[in-house]
Structure 1
Amino acid sequence: MNISNIHETLIAKNSDLAGSSFTDVNLREAKFTDVNLSQSEFTDINFSGTRFNDVNLSEVVIENCDVTGMTINGLLVTEMMRAYGEKQSAG
């Protein structure tokens, strides 16, 4: 199915959209519950202000990302990276 130039709310339940591709799509304020995004790829994505709760992030790779203000379990990622860098420099 090819959907182009649509400005509507989409509700997908109990659906298999495996292998789908989204390019230049606005999913602002979208809600994802019980969704399998394993083996997915995100490139040039704006996740600012997004909240992840009860999410399996095992084997996730984060590269070339602005993590300003990002926290993991209440800890600032920039502070964790700074502390790690200091430990690496000292050792």
Structure 2
Amino acid sequence: MEFSDKRMDGIEFRNCSLANAVFDDVNLAGARLTNFNLSGLTIENANIKGLKIFGYDVEAWIKEQLAKDGCHLD
């Protein structure tokens, strides 16, 4: 099933499986994820400004790691 060009603001998913789902050009700003299985999740080309996982600032941590590797985050 495919959802294209749809507004789903405020929608709630409860007790659902989205295994192997593909999210492309999706706005999750302000979304809240709780009790999630994210094993094997891949995130690429994402705006992570303000992203926190378990209260940790992910953007700042990734910037630190990239700096150690001589790279940068745009």
TM-score clears 0.5: yes
**Structure 1 residue 37 and structure 2 residue 40: aligned?**
no
What displacement does 1:67 show?
Answer: 0.3
Larger RCO (CA within 8 A; separation ≥ 6): 2
Code of the aligned partner of 2:55: G
SS of equivalent to 1:79: helix
Q: What is the distance in 1 between the residues matched to 2:55 and 2:69?
A: 23
Count of matched residue pairs: 70
Q: What is the distance in 1 between the residues matched to 2:68 and 2:45?
A: 22
Percent pairwise identity: 29
Tell me which structure has the larger Cα radius of gyration: 1
User: What do you get for the CA RMSD once the two structures are aligned?
Assistant: 1.0
TM-score normalised by structure 1 residue count: 0.72
Deviations 1:26-82 (A, max 9, x none): 110000001100001000000000000000000000000000001011011111102
Q: What is the distance in 2 between the residues matched to 1:87 and 1:34?
A: 40
SS of equivalent to 2:69: helix
Gaps of at least 5 residues in structure 2 are none
* Structure 1 partner of 2:66: 85
